[in-house]
């Protein structure tokens, strides 16, 4: 790997760390790209190439991940939605159901005894939402008629 490629990866890690740390803040691709010292379009392409998902999908997955912990702790769906930085309850609920497989209210009402018995570092790893293919990736997999 060249020095230039290593520097680009370091910049992408810096942006990913920004997302992980500031997920509850209003973040958009230009703000994330500024953290990586790249233009928004170049940043989006490089981020997806390095991490397998777009910066926005990564951000939303982190937000959903944090929301699952709040919901397990008994927070209301609305409060969890706002706490993780989402401004639309409908969009949050739709994305939550898409990522987790059930609506946030159903997730909150489920018994999570096994997760409560785990150390928090293990619970975070085990309850991390899986990466879902994007709509574009799904469309590309469909057989052409």
Euclidean distance between CA atoms 59 and 36, whole angstroms: 15
Q: Among residues 107, 95, 102, 104, which one has the least CA distance to residue 62?
A: 95
Where is pLDDT greater, at 134 or 24? Answer: 24
- Which pair of structure tokens corresponds to residue 108? 């909150």
Residue 95 tokens, joined: 């994305």
pLDDT, position 142: 75
pTM of the predicted structure, to 2 decimals:
0.75
Dihedral, CA atoms, 56, 57, 58, 64, nearest 10 degrees? 110
Range 137-144 average pLDDT = 70
Query: Which pLDDT value is given to residue 127?
Result: 63
- So what's the pLDDT on residue 118? 62
> Does the structure show a pLDDT above 90 at 145?
no
User: CA-to-CA distance for 34 and 29, rounded, in angstroms?
Assistant: 8
Question: Among positive and negative, which fits the CA dihedral 120, 121, 126, 130?
Answer: positive
Residue 121, pLDDT above cutoff 90: no
The answer for residues whose C-beta is within 8 angstroms of residue 65's C-beta and 6 or more apart is 124, 127, 128, 129
pLDDT beyond 90 at 86: yes
pLDDT digits (tens, 9 = 90+) for 17-51: 999 999 999 989 998 998 888 999 999 999 999 99
Report the pLDDT value the prediction gives residue 126, as an integer from 0 to 100.
62
Tens of pLDDT along 43-80? 999 999 999 999 999 999 999 999 998 998 889 999 99
**Per-residue pLDDT tens over the stretch 96-105:** 999 888 999 9
Contacts with 98 (C-beta within 8 Å, 6 or more apart), sequence order: 132
């Amino acid at each position: 790997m060249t020095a230039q490629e290593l520097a680009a990866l370091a910049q992408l890690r810096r942006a990913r760390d920004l997302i992980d740390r500031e997920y509850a803040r209003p973040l958009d691709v230009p703000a994330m790209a500024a953290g990586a010292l790249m233009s928004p379009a170049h940043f989006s392409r490089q981020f997806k190439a390095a991490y397998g998902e777009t910066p926005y999908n990564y951000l939303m997955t982190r937000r959903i991940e944090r929301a699952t912990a709040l919901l397990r702790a008994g927070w209301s769906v609305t409060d969890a939605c706002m706490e993780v930085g989402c401004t639309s309850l409908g969009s949050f609920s739709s994305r939550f159901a898409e990522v987790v497989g059930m609506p946030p209210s159903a997730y909150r009402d489920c018994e999570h005894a096994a997760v409560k018995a785990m150390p928090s570092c293990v619970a975070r790893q085990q309850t991390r939402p899986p990466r879902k293919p994007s709509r574009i990736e799904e469309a590309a997999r469909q057989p052409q008629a």
